[in-house]
């Protein structure tokens, strides 16, 4: 049921956008991006779980990926990407086995496929929201649930545009594995607050420029 609701929330707005007036600049772009931020495992249940690790401590998350996007109306853009991420988390044992507080760490990697919906505002500012599919790579965390499933993203930022290249800067939040593919053990989700910087090439401008040159 949760997966069906999440699927409808993602697909229906995108389908509605495609049904709008289609006479506008498609602005087809492809490029890459990188980001970094601070993470924190969060619980989505109040159920008591024996042998659960706590408390948690936030450490760094790093990501890099490629993306492809296009306008579906004069103010809306849809972007799909493939992203690799590295996460380091910290935790304390509960109950502690030492008198003093000791923080342990572990690292893991994920591959994500985010689908993002952008709404442009004035002066090239934008608001973004979407979903992503997460896949845990080998060496998945031991103390934390494997972050494999559907996640959510939200952010805002601004683009700096030239004729062929667009640079964007976007702070945002990611909540991974909101709807997990597999049964979870401890009910934690990884929340990441960070910043992304991207570079994209505008293929539409290149085509227009070439056509204009052929007409001369």
For 23, 72, 81, the CA distances from 150, given in Å and listed in that order, are 33, 24, 15
Q: What is the pLDDT of residues 4-45, one digit of tens each?
A: 545 545 554 555 555 454 555 678 899 999 999 999 988 776
Query: What is the pTM for the complete model shown?
Result: 0.78
DSSP 32: E
Of residues 181 and 128, the one with the higher pLDDT is 128
How many angstroms from the chain centroid is the CA of residue 126?
16
Q: How confident is the model at residue 207 (pLDDT cuts 50, 70, 90)?
A: very low
Q: Can you give the pLDDT at residue 214?
A: 40
Q: Can you give the pLDDT at residue 173?
A: 95
Distance CA 216, CA 204 (A): 19
Q: What is the pLDDT of residues 47-77, one digit of tens each?
A: 555 555 667 888 999 999 999 998 888 888 9
Nearby residues of 17 by Cβ (< 8 Å), 6 or more positions away: 72, 73, 76, 78
Locate all alpha helices (DSSP H) within the chain, ordered by sequence.
2-18, 203-215
Bond from prior residue into 95 cis (ω within 30 degrees of 0): yes
Distance CA 81, CA 48 (A): 37
Q: Is the pLDDT of residue 80 over 60?
A: yes
Distance CA 171, CA 40 (A): 16
Distance CA 73, CA 195 (A): 26
For residue 146, the SS3 value is: coil
Domains in the chain: ranges and CATH: 2-215 (2.40.160.20)
Q: How confident is the model at residue 182 (pLDDT cuts 50, 70, 90)?
A: confident
DSSP 123: G
What average pLDDT does this structure show over 183-197? Answer: 84
Residue 165 and residue 201 in contact, taking contact as beta carbons nearer than 8 Å: yes
For 188, 205, 210, 211, the CA distances from 163, given in Å and listed in that order, are 44, 6, 13, 15
Q: What is the pLDDT of residues 136-172, one digit of tens each?
A: 887 667 777 888 889 999 999 999 988 889 999 999 9
Q: Can you give the pLDDT at residue 5?
A: 47
């Amino acid at each position: 049921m949760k997966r069906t609701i999440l699927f409808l929330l993602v697909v229906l707005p995108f389908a509605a956008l495609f049904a709008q007036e289609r006479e506008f600049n498609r602005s087809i772009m492809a490029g890459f991006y990188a980001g970094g931020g601070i993470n924190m495992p969060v619980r989505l249940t109040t159920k008591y779980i024996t042998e659960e690790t706590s408390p948690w401590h936030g450490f760094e998350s790093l990501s890099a990926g490629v993306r492809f996007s296009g306008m579906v109306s004069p103010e809306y853009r849809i972007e799909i990407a493939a992203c690799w991420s590295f996460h380091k988390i910290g935790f304390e044992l509960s109950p502690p086995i030492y008198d003093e507080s000791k923080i342990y760490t572990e690292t893991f990697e994920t591959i994500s496929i985010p689908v993002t919906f952008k709404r442009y505002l004035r002066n090239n500012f934008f608001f973004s929201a979407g979903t992503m599919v997460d896949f845990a790579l080998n060496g998945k965390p031991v103390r934390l649930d494997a972050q494999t499933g559907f996640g959510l993203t939200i952010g805002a930022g601004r683009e700096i545009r030239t004729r062929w290249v667009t640079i964007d800067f976007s702070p945002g939040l990611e909540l991974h594995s909101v709807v997990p593919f597999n049964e979870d053990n401890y009910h934690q989700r990884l929340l990441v607050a960070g910043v992304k910087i991207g570079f994209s090439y505008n293929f539409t401008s290149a085509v227009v420029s070439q056509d204009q040159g052929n007409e001369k």
